[in-house]
Amino acid sequence: MTDTAASNRLDRRKARTRAALVAAARELLASRDPAEVSIQEITDTADVGFGSFYNHFESKAELFDAALEEVLEEHGALFDALTAEIDDPAEVYASSVRLTVRMAKTHPQIAKILQRTGLRYLNLPDGLAPR
């Protein structure tokens, strides 16, 4: 076996562990306040070892920020797909508002996370407002 194959396997395993931690954070963000969640609960939900958390994130806040960034990117991608063919800014805005309101039914996890964390994340440079 070559070093490239071994490093690729290691990289894939690291990526899976990180993705599991972010998915667990999203699940927990949808149901609870981040301050109420322990790192042990996150790693249990992700089904990874406790020490693995610190291989990927320095703190809970960093993990929850990564999860929020992923949620905002997913939400933004939905906006982009919906409004790609629309030129009128007012129509883009209206379509985006309708999409966001419908998310409670179509994408409940995203809707719950945005509701729980507040809309302050929408105006960040990498949030939804620039879109």
| C-alpha span between 96 and 78 (Å, rounded) | 9
Give the relative orientation of helices 89-106 and 60-83 as an angle to the nearest 10 degrees: 120
DSSP string of 19-42, one letter each residue? HHHHHHHHHHHHHS-GGG--HHHH
Q: What is the pLDDT along the chain (131 residues), one digit of tens a residue?
A: 555 555 788 889 899 999 999 999 999 999 988 889 999 999 999 999 998 999 999 999 999 999 988 998 888 899 889 899 999 989 988 988 898 889 989 999 988 988 887 666 666 666 666 66
pTM (predicted TM-score): 0.80
Do the Cβ atoms of 20 and 47 come closer than 8 Å?
A: yes
Do the Cβ atoms of 81 and 28 come closer than 8 Å?
A: no
The pLDDT tens digits of the residues spanning 100-114 come to: 889 989 999 988 988
